[in-house]
Structure 1
Amino acid sequence: MIHAALVSIEDNLLGEKSCAYLVVTSPLRAVAVRRFLREQGVAEFKLPDRVECVAALPLTPVGKVDKKQLRQWLAEGKLG
């Protein structure tokens, strides 16, 4: 993994869920990411509900991760 970002996404049942975006050198499965995080001691309720691998994270003009754009990708069904 090279870079990562976590964003909240709306959920009709729970109010919101989390989505982890990962920039990786080779494809990863969400199950493997969640297993790795569990092995590192991350509590179950802190694990991302969704994991997406992307080629690059969008950045704002000042160089920060553009979380608004990441949420828009999910809403539009666009990934990376």
Structure 2
Amino acid sequence: MVHTPLVGRIAADEHCEDELTLPELLVRRGQMFALTVSGDSMIKAHVMDGDTVAARVQPDAENGEIVAARRSQPQY
């Protein structure tokens, strides 16, 4: 057995609460989504509790990037 800290929550559903209008220069290309931050684990990146962050859907991340990750639905 491995002891693993449970450090927070992330929504398992994709219920759309609202819609944001973002400048095209910010979005550029790709599918975007937004999340409201809960907690202060990203405070060193100047992301505060209650902030709304925009993220791009992409298959991988580079070293140093901040990510919100989820596992794909299993293919049966």
Provide the TM-score with structure 2 as the length reference: 0.27
Relative contact order higher in (CA < 8 Å, ≥ 6 apart): 1
**The structure with more helix, counted as a fraction of residues:** 1
**The structure with more strand, counted as a fraction of residues:** 1
Provide the TM-score with structure 1 as the length reference: 0.26
